[in-house]
C-alpha cells in the first residue's frame, strides 16, 4: 500500500510488435525514439541488504530476466553488517544498488537500451528483497522524439 505522496506503479503492457530497436540500439516505442529505459526503484521495508554475494545473485537474476548481457560485477560492503553498493555493467547499460540496512531501504537503478525490458527485472528484485513498499519511476533517456 502506498504511503502519503507515493504512487502505486503498474507497468503498461506493450506488445512486443510495438517495440523496435534501431542499428544504434535506440528504442522506438509508442511513437517515441530514445536511448533506453531507466527505472529508479526505491525499496522500503526491504530485507537481505547486507550480503554482497546474495545481492549480486539477485542483480544477476534481474539482468537475466530483462534479457541483458552481464559484462562485469563489482560490489562493496561498508563494514560487517553494513550497507552494500554495487553495479552490474551490462552490454546494454547497468544495474546499480545502494543499501541502507539500518533503514531497511535499497535504491536500485536499472538502465537498459536495445531489446532488453527493464520492467522484467522488477518481480525478481521484489522476490529477492521482499520490500513492504516500492516507489518506482521510469525515465526515457536520450529521448529524440
Helix, strand, coil percentages, rounded to 5, for the chain: 20, 40, 35
Strand (E) or helix (H) holding 52: helix 52-65
DSSP 83-125: -EEEEEEETTEEEEEEEEGGGTEEEEEEEEETT--GGGHHHHH
Residues tagged active-site: 93, 98, 113
Amino acid at each position: 500500500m502506498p504511503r502519503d505522496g507515493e504512487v502505486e506503479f503498474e507497468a503498461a503492457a506493450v506488445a512486443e510488435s510495438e517495440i523496435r530497436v534501431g542499428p544504434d540500439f535506440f528504442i522506438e516505442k509508442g511513437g517515441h525514439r530514445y536511448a533506453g529505459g531507466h527505472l529508479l526503484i526505491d525499496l522500503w521495508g526491504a530485507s537481505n541488504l547486507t550480503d554482497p554475494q546474495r545481492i549480486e545473485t539477485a542483480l544477476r537474476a534481474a539482468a537475466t530476466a530483462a534479457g541483458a548481457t552481464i559484462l562485469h560485477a563489482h560490489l562493496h560492503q561498508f563494514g560487517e553488517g553494513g550497507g552494500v553498493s554495487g553495479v552490474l555493467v551490462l552490454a546494454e547499460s547497468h544495474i546499480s544498488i545502494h543499501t541502507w540496512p539500518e533503514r531497511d531501504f535499497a535504491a536500485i537503478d536499472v538502465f537498459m537500451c536495445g531489446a532488453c525490458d527493464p520492467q522484467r527485472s522488477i518481480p525478481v528484485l521484489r522476490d529477492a528483497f521482499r520490500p513492504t513498499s516500492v516507489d518506482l519511476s521510469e525515465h526515457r533517456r536520450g529521448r529524440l522524439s
